[in-house]
Chain A
C-alpha cells in the first residue's frame, strides 16, 4: 500500500534530481560557512566520589544497610615524620 503512495516515472526522476540539487546546495552553503567553534566542555565527571562516598557506596543497596562502614587503612607516614627506631641495646 505504501508503494502506491510513491511517485513514479518522470515525476520521481525529476524529484530525485531536485532533491539532489537541494542537498548539494545546502551542504555546500553549510560546509563553506562553518559555525563558530564551541569551547570544549570540561571532561565529563566520572561520578566523582568523596572518600566517604567511596566507602559507603554499597550502603546504597538495602542489603548492606546497617553494616559498619569499611575503614580505610591509616595513611603511611612520610619518611621525615617517621619516628626514629629506638636505639639498640648498649653493651
Chain B
C-alpha cells in the first residue's frame, strides 16, 4: 500500500520513465493513503470515461466506413446495403477476430464481466491492460462489423484494466486494487450508456456483491466522473428516447407479475443457451477452434440477409419495440434468433458483451407479451411499455441483480412512471430464473472455471448452517461408565475425536478429551472407583444445529478442540461438527 519512491524504483533511463516517476512521486507525496486512493478513484473514472469515448468513436467510424451509418441509424444503413455486403461485412469481422486470435495465440473470447469478477474475488484485482485493450478494440470492431454482441463488454474491460494497472503501478494493497477494478468497470458501463446510478449499483451488486457504504463512495465518484466525460464528449440524453408510459389500470400490476414469471423462464433459458453453446463449441476439434469466429460470423451474415435487425448492438430493434413499431411475428422470432446467434458468436470466441443482447431479448419478448395482452385485455398500456418491463425483467433474471436492473432501465429510458411494475416484474423474474437456473450469466462462466464467488446473502439467511455439516456420533458413554471402559473406547477413537457422556435419555452431559484426561486423573489408588462423570469436561459447551457457519466458526475460536458436540433444544446429542469441515465447506 505504500507509495513508490524513486529511490527504490527502477532506474529511469528515458523521458517517459522520468515522467512516470514524477507522476508516481506526485501521487506518493499525498499525505495519506486515503487521499491518494481518492485521487486514483477520480483518475480511474477519467480514464474509463475517455477510453469509452475513444472506443465509441472507433465504433462509429467503422460503422460509417462499412455501413454508411452510425449507431443510432445503424439499421437504416444495413437495410440500404445490398445483400452481398450484409454477408461479407460480418465475414470480414470474423476473419479479423480469427486473425488476431491466431496472432495472439489464445482466444479473445468472453464478455469481460466474469473475468472482472474473477479478478476482484480471486486474483487480488489483477488484470492485464494490454490484453484488455486489444480485446476491447477487437470487440468494438466486431460489433461494428455486425457481431450480435454488446459494445459494453469492451468498455467494462478497459475501465477495469485501467484501475488494475494503476493499482499495480502504485503497488496498492489487494483491497484497494480490487475496489479500483470495480470502480473502473462501473465507470466504463456508466459512460457506455449514460447510466451513472445503474452502473454504480451494478458494480456494487454484481461485481462486489455488497452495498457496504465503504464501497459505495468510490464507485459513485468514478461513475460520476466517467459520465461527465462521456456526456461532455458524446451526448447527454437517455439511450432510448420513448414516450412516458404510465399505468392505465391496476390490473397491469398483475400483468407485470405475469410478465415477470414468463421472462424469468426465458432468462434461465438465455443463461442455459449461452452456456450450452459454449460447452458445445469447446468440444470442437483443435484445428477448427481458431476458425470458429469466422464460421460463426458467416452464419450471422447469412442470417442478416433475411433478418438485418440481428446485426450489431440491436439498438434500433429495441427502440422500435419500445415505440411499439414491430409486428408480433418479429417480436417472437427475433429474440430467439438473437439468442442463437449471440450464443454462437460468444461461444465461438468473438469478444463482446452479453448485456445489450439480453436487453434485445427481453425488450422484444416483453413487446410480444404486450401485444398479446392488448389482444386479450384491450385498453391497457401499449406494447412498448411491456417491452420496457421485459428489458428490466431479463436483466434481473440473467444477472440476478434486481436493484441495478431496475435503475439501469430507469436511466436508459428516463421513464419513471413505470417504476412500480418494473420493480415487480424484475423481482419476480429474478426469483423465477434463480429457481430454474441457480447460476447467473456471470457466475455460470466462473463455475466452469472452478471459481467460487462467496455468498452475498447475510449469514443468518443462508441455507447451510451447522446442520449441513453434522456428523453422527458412533460412540458415547454413560456417566456411570468405569474408567477401563472409557479408556478402551477412547483408544479406539480416530485422531481428534472426543468421547461424549450422555445420560440414559441421550442428553449431553460433558466431553472426555484425551489430552485433558491426564491432569484430571485422580490418585492411582482410586482408579478402580473412577467413572466417566468424574473425568468429563463440562466446560465444553455444545452448539445447536440452527447456528450459522459463521457463528460456529466463532465458537471454534474459543476452544482448542477439533470437534464440538451438537445438541437439540432438550440437550440431546445429535452429532458433532469438525473445525476442518467448517473451514473447507463453509462460505463466509
Name A residues whose Cβ lies closer than 8 Å to a Cβ of B: 2-7, 11-12, 15-16, 19-20, 22-23, 26-27, 29-31, 33-38, 40-41, 44-47, 60-61
A60 near B72 with CB under 8 A, answer no
Q: Do A6 and B106 form a contact, CB below 8 Å, given A23-B95, A35-B81?
A: yes
Residue contact B241 to A30, C-beta cutoff 8 Å: no
Question: In the complex, are the beta carbons of B91 and A6 less than 8 A apart?
Answer: no
Please state if B76 and A5 are interface contacts (CB–CB under 8 Å).
Answer: no
Q: Is B105 an interface residue (CB 8 A)?
A: yes
Chain A residue, CB-CB nearest to B65 = A31
**Which B residues touch A4, using CB under 8 A?**
286
Selected from A23, A33, A35, the residue in CB contact (under 8 A) with B96 is A23
Q: Give the residues in chain B near A37, CB-CB below 8 Å.
A: 68
> What residues make up the interface of B, taking CB atoms closer than 8 Å to A?
65-69, 72-73, 76-77, 80-82, 85, 88-89, 91-92, 95-96, 98-99, 101-103, 105-107, 235, 237-238, 241, 244, 286-287, 289-291, 294, 414, 416-417
A4 to B91, CA, bound (A): 26
* Known A11-B287, A16-B99, A16-B102; contact A36-B80, beta-carbon cutoff 8 A: yes
Most buried by B among A12, A15, A20, A33: A15
Q: Using Cβ atoms and an 8 Å threshold, which residues of chain A touch B102?
A: 6-7, 12, 15-16, 19
B428 CB to nearest chain A CB (Å): 22
B290 near A15: Cβ-Cβ < 8 Å? yes
User: How distant is the Cα of A11 from the Cα of B287 in the complex, in angstroms?
Assistant: 9
Partner of B105, one of A6, A36, A44: A6
- Does B241 contact A26, Cβ atoms closer than 8 Å? no
* Chain B residues near A26 (CB-CB < 8 A): 88, 91-92, 95
Measured between alpha carbons, how far is A10 from B96 in the docked complex, in Å? 20
Residue numbers in A under 8 Å from B103 (CB-CB) = 16
Q: Are B106 and A2 in contact (CB under 8 A)?
A: yes
CB proximity of A19 to chain B, nearest CB, Å: 4
B383 to nearest A CB, angstroms?
Answer: 21
Q: A4-B286, A44-B72 are in contact. List 13 more A-B contacts (CB 8 A).
A: A2-B106, A6-B101, A6-B290, A23-B96, A30-B66, A30-B88, A33-B85, A35-B67, A35-B80, A35-B81, A36-B80, A41-B72, A60-B417
Closest CB-CB distance, B31 to chain A, in whole Å?
Answer: 41
> Can you list 8 A-B pairs with a CB-CB distance of less than 8 A?
A6-B107, A15-B98, A35-B68, A35-B77, A36-B80, A40-B73, A47-B238, A60-B417
Q: How far is the CA of A20 from the CA of B85 in the complex (A)?
A: 19
Is A19 within 8 A of B99, CB to CB? yes
Q: How far is the CB of B273 from chain A (nearest CB, A)?
A: 22
Complex CA distance for A41 and B105, rounded to whole angstroms: 42
Contacts between chains A and B (CB distance < 8 A), count: 91
- For residue B20, give the distance in angstroms from its CB to the closest CB of chain A: 32
Bound complex: CA of A47 vs CA of B69, how far in Å? 22
Interface pairs A-B: 4 shortest CB-CB: A19-B99, A26-B92, A5-B289, A35-B81
Report the Cα distance A61→B416, complex, angstroms. Answer: 7
Q: Which residues of B contact A16 (CB under 8 A)?
A: 99, 102-103
B417 lies within 8 A of A41 (CB): no
Min CB gap B308→A, angstroms:
13
Residues of A within 8 A of B76 (CB): 38, 41
User: In the complex, which residue of chain A has the Cβ closest to the Cβ of B243?
Assistant: A47
A19-B237 contact given A30-B85, A34-B68, A36-B80, CB 8 Å threshold:
no
Residues of chain B within 8 A (CB-CB) of A41 are: 72-73, 76
Q: Is the CB of B98 within 8 A of A2?
A: no
Question: Contact at A2–B107, with CB atoms within 8 Å?
Answer: yes
Q: Residue of B at shortest CB range from A16?
A: B102
Nearest CB of chain A from residue B298's CB, rounded to whole Å: 11
Q: Which residues of B contact A46 (CB under 8 A)?
A: 237
**Cα distance A47–B294 in the bound complex, in angstroms:** 41
- Provide the residues of chain B in CB contact with A36, threshold 8 Å: 68, 80-81
Residues of A within 8 Å of B106, CB to CB, are 2-3, 6
- Contacts A26-B88, A30-B85 given; indicate if A7 touches B290 (C-beta within 8 A): yes
Residues from chain B with a CB closer than 8 A to the CB of A61 are 416
> Min CB distance, A56 to chain B, in Å?
11
A3 and chain B: residue at smallest CB distance:
B106
B99 and A7 form a contact (CB under 8 A): no
Nearest CB of A to B88, in Å: 6
Q: State in angstroms the CA–CA spacing of A4 and B106 once bound together.
A: 9
| Interchain CB contact under 8 A, B244 and A60 | yes
Q: Which of A5, A23, A38 is close to B99, meaning CB atoms less than 8 Å apart? A: A23
Instruction: Give bound CA distance, A29 to B89, whole Å.
Output: 10
Nearest residue, chain A, Cβ from B244:
A60
In angstroms, Cα B291 to Cα A37, docked, is 33
Closest to B104 in A: A6
Contact B105 A19 (CB under 8 A): no
Q: Which residues of B contact A40 (CB under 8 A)?
A: 73
Q: How far is the CA of A63 from the CA of B103 in the complex (A)?
A: 58
B276–chain A nearest beta-carbon distance, Å: 19
CB-based contact A6/B67 at 8 Å:
no
Q: Is the CB of B237 within 8 A of A44?
A: yes
Residue of A nearest to B100 (CB): A19
Q: Chain A nearest CB: distance from B241 CB in Å?
A: 6
Contacts of A44 in B (CB 8 A): 72, 235, 237, 241
Name the contact of A30 in the complex, choosing from B77, B89, B98, B289 (C-beta under 8 A).
B89
Cβ–Cβ < 8 Å partners of B65 in chain A: 31
Shortest Cβ distance from B489 into chain A, in angstroms? 50
What is the CB-to-nearest-CB distance from B465 to chain A, in angstroms, rounded to a whole number? 36
CA distance A16 to B106 in the complex (A): 13
A47 → chain B closest CB, angstroms: 6
B95 touches A19 (CB 8 A): yes
B73, A38: Cβ atoms under 8 Å? yes
* Chain A residues with CB below 8 A from B101, complex form: 6
Closest CB of chain A to B466's CB: distance in Å? 38
Set of chain B residues within 8 Å of A22, measured between Cβ atoms: 95
| Contact of A38 (CB < 8 Å), options: B80, B107, B241 | B80
Complex Cα distance A45/B101, Å? 41
Smallest beta-carbon distance B3→chain A, Å: 37
Complex-state Cα separation, A64 to B96, whole angstroms: 54
Report chain B residues within 8 Å CB of A31. 65
B458 to nearest A CB, angstroms?
29
Chain A positions within 8 Å of B98 at CB level? 15, 19
